[in-house]
Structure 1
Amino acid sequence: MLSWGYGTGFAVFQLYYKQHMHWPASQVSWIGSIQIFLCFLIGMVSGRLADAGYSKHLYAGGAIILIFGMFMTSLATTYWQFLLAQGFCSGIGGGLMFMPATANVATYFKKRRSLAMAINGCGSSTGAILFPAVIQFLTPRLGFAWTVRVCGFIASGLAIIGFFCLKPRDLRRVPAPFLDLKAFKNPDYTVFTLGAFFIYFSLFTMLIYINSFARESVGLSDIESVNFILITNTVAIPARPIFGYIADRYVGPVYTFGLNCIALGVMAFGWMGVHRRADMYAYSVIMGFVNGAAQGIFSSAASNSVKDVRKMGTWIGMVFAICGFATLAGPPTMGAIIDASGGKYIWGQLWVGLTIVIGGSLIILSPRLEVKKTGRIGLV
């Protein structure tokens, strides 16, 4: 809820900053993209330190930095202040918190790992409902500054609960570098990482821009446009455990993730056909479900190539770090395409669809490389 939930819910901030601060879409999106980028990038470091036994230390430190960033956002008045407080502080704090908790869950499960991590990931969708709703509906009553402070107080309570729920597994620790480049000698791991890069170049772009699209292209009000953020994240909650179960029971996490990403790319192409209010609601429901299915299984799919559970945080962290560079460039690229198109979204929507479909196809290809190398047959 505090790392990806707060970051994924940036769409409501995107619209607010654009309308009230009068900044270009590409400039505003740098705040959200840096926040998400640092969640990914810092995850590489925090994942390795979590493997070394510092999960609770990282979680506590990350929570302090993230909550500090929220309160500083409430005091910000210029672009660079918002960028430092919401982009950098919240991103660094979220990265320190997220990876230790995710890798910790993965170490407790093998047969039901996809389902367990999908349930764990439901917090992302829950946070992406909670924080945008608070911002959208309390800002007219309390003002933006005090509304963001309310988010900070909520985050403080959630962080305390999370800290006491986090229980690292007692594993024998082995010395390992922050970068385990030997991982890339595995063709399946390398191709999976490349596919994930393409996917995450555009995945968060859809979530960040759906609010402003509803306001600017469909012509809905500010209050109604935030409904689509809430809808997409609400339907994502049941999608995560459903496809976690399917991955464990029938298809395997990598194929489940890849197929859902291709479906998400198709939904991005379908975005070009949304013109009316009813279209927007129907699209939000379907896209949110498919997006939840894809994101919910990502961590489990990334862990599939990890042969040594003691390196779980390090290997998953490297995938997340590389995806972080994709999320850094994706939303500003979309904003630049929209600005260059005179406010029209169609070329940006086409770009999003192409990159996600290419990435999903690489994900589906990746396990076949492992089978070819090892001669093993079975679900991967």
Structure 2
Amino acid sequence: MSMQTTSAYHLVNRAKAVVPYIIIARGWLAVVGGFACLFVSFGWITCIGVFQAYYGTHQLQAYSASAVGWIPSAETFLLFLGVPVFGGLFDRLGPTWLLAVGTVLHVGGLLGAAHATTYAQLFGTQGVVSATGTGAIFVAGTSAVGTWFRARRGLALGLVSAGSALGAVLGTALIPVLFDRIGFPWTMRAVALTYLVLMAVAMATTSRRPQPSGRSPAPFLLSSLLPVSLLRSRPVLVLATACFFYFLGVFIPYNYLVVEARDAGDGEQPANNLLVILSATSTVGRIVPGVLGDRYGRFNTTIAFTLFSVVLVLCVWIAAPWRAGRIVFAALYGFGSGTFVSMVPTLVAQVCPDMSQLGLHLGAVYLVIAPSVLIAQPLGGALASAGRNHQARDSYVWLKAFCAVSMALGVAGFVAARAAYQGNSGKLFKGGHV
């Protein structure tokens, strides 16, 4: 073997040795980008309680709580409905185009909301345009990270979802202060500028794992935008149904805890602090389940944490309807409910047999989830109004009971989804690292 051949051989071997480190680096860079994506998408959506309370006493004070609730409900609904639409596009185009489109819509919608004064204008800019952009950003961030990791996928997606918790903490803490100091229009402009900077970071760092060489992409079909056919898979269908019921209740405290505290006379700042506490503890609650899920099973961890959240609603929020009880509930519920952001994409990735179709599988599940978040807040507003009319000791008790029942049905669904994934639908409580 000549000296030149030997040198070339060593160079090739060195290049092969470096490849795994490049893959690892790109994967963790995608986590950075995903963190930024969740900060500006789900982090923004989690601030809905601030706007529910603010609109009810300012621009939309002439409207009922149920009518105002349609704006944050539409935001959450369109984020989730965007997952099936943008999920199929992600599988074909990758994250960059989705991030660009999502940034234009989300930032543009917020700038439009800064000038909005009527119900229709706020609904259109914040509830439709901005929300559609968050759907594209959410899909790009979570799906890209899911393609890079397998053994540590729970940890990676947990770190990504912590971005939404941090976004919610800063949003719920700062937005009410900015409303008072610089006014609603400039607050929305400041948020839009911040999100624009973060999306520049996301577009520079977010990528998906390269597809196998020689593999041609599947032909694009309009049915890919609404991947209903994937629900024929029993694990996917049962998981989606479980998520529907759980999401029907899980957002209610995020939206109505502040309103309840204000009605009880806690004052504007103490009431807003509840949402800050909830969002802060949610940061830990989105990372810890991912770590535990990698070790003890992602279905097992999800069931444990979602059940914990149901117990909190029943034993704290309902049983202790006063200021100290609300503070304790906010702290613990943030930790327990943080699972719903970090673990659902992880569970979808677990039941997905082909990572090149992860976006489609996410879309199928979130297609089922979307109607639940659309009706949850207006229904919650109706239940809250009904409770106030009856002048009970706790006028929000019907709202809280609905929250607990919906989430409990979701927990039962996660147990059934675990059994379906194991191929033992008749043995709901079969153990194992699942």
> Tell me, which stretches of 5 or more residues in structure 1 are unaligned?
none
Residue 218 of structure 2, aligned match among 174, 178, 190: 174
- Rounded to whole Å, the distance in 1 between the matches of 2:57 and 2:119 is 14
Instruction: State the Cα distance separating 1:157 from its structure 2 match.
Output: 1.1
Instruction: State the Cα distance separating 1:276 from its structure 2 match.
Output: 2.6
- Rounded to whole Å, the distance in 2 between the matches of 1:92 and 1:287 is 28
Q: Does 1:352 align with 2:403?
A: yes
- Rounded to whole Å, the distance in 2 between the matches of 1:175 and 1:123 is 34
- Rounded to whole Å, the distance in 1 between the matches of 2:174 and 2:112 is 17
Name 1:337's counterpart in structure 2: 383
Amino acid at match of 2:300: Y
Instruction: State the Cα distance separating 1:378 from its structure 2 match.
Output: 4.5
Q: Residue by residue, what CA displacement relative to the aligned partner does 1:299-352 show, whole Å, maximum 9, x if unpaired?
A: 101222100111101001111121111100001100011112226210010011
Contact 1:254 1:304 in 2 (8 A): no
Residue 301 of structure 2, aligned match among 256, 262, 266: 256
- Rounded to whole Å, the distance in 2 between the matches of 1:139 and 1:292 is 27
Contact 2:351 2:421 in 1 (8 A): no
Name 1:192's counterpart in structure 2: 239
- Rounded to whole Å, the distance in 2 between the matches of 1:234 and 1:55 is 28
Name 2:367's counterpart in structure 1: 321
The structure with the largest alpha-carbon Rg is 2
Contact 2:277 2:330 in 1 (8 A): yes
Contact 1:259 1:364 in 2 (8 A): no
Q: Which has the higher contact order (CA 8 A, sep 6+)?
A: 1
Instruction: State the Cα distance separating 1:210 from its structure 2 match.
Output: 1.2
Name 1:161's counterpart in structure 2: 201
- Rounded to whole Å, the distance in 1 between the matches of 2:91 and 2:318 is 44
Amino acid at match of 2:433: L
- Rounded to whole Å, the distance in 2 between the matches of 1:181 and 1:52 is 18
Contact 2:94 2:207 in 1 (8 A): no
Amino acid at match of 1:203: V
- Rounded to whole Å, the distance in 2 between the matches of 1:175 and 1:274 is 56
| RMSD over aligned Cα atoms | 1.8
1:205-220 matches, cutoff 5 A:
205-217=252-264, 219-220=265-266
Q: Residue by residue, what CA displacement relative to the aligned partner does 1:49-83 show, whole Å, maximum 9, x if unpaired?
A: 11102310111111111011111111111001100
- Rounded to whole Å, the distance in 2 between the matches of 1:48 and 1:208 is 31
Residue 337 of structure 2, aligned match among 291, 296, 310: 291
> Tell me, which stretches of 5 or more residues in structure 2 are unaligned?
1-38, 390-394
Q: Does 1:123 align with 2:163?
A: yes
- Rounded to whole Å, the distance in 1 between the matches of 2:123 and 2:322 is 34
SS of the equivalent of 1:52 reads helix
Q: Does 1:363 align with 2:363?
A: no
Identity %: 27
Taking structure 1 as the reference length, the TM-score comes to: 0.95
Number of corresponding residues: 378
Instruction: State the Cα distance separating 1:373 from its structure 2 match.
Output: 5.5
- Rounded to whole Å, the distance in 2 between the matches of 1:97 and 1:105 is 13
Q: Does 1:83 align with 2:123?
A: yes
- Rounded to whole Å, the distance in 2 between the matches of 1:192 and 1:33 is 22
Contact 2:227 2:363 in 1 (8 A): no
Taking structure 2 as the reference length, the TM-score comes to: 0.84
SS of the equivalent of 1:379 reads coil
Amino acid at match of 2:141: A
Change (3 A) 1:277 1:370: closer
SS of the equivalent of 1:342 reads helix
Contact 2:139 2:359 in 1 (8 A): yes
Q: Residue by residue, what CA displacement relative to the aligned partner does 1:17-76 show, whole Å, maximum 9, x if unpaired?
A: 111231211111110010010000011111111110231011111111101111111111
Name 2:278's counterpart in structure 1: 232
Contact 1:186 1:370 in 2 (8 A): no
Contact 1:174 1:310 in 2 (8 A): no
Instruction: State the Cα distance separating 1:377 from its structure 2 match.
Output: 8.5
Moved more, 1-10 or 265-274: 265-274
Q: Does 1:7 align with 2:61?
A: no
Q: Residue by residue, what CA displacement relative to the aligned partner does 1:264-300 show, whole Å, maximum 9, x if unpaired?
A: 1222223112333222211111111101134321210
Amino acid at match of 2:312: M
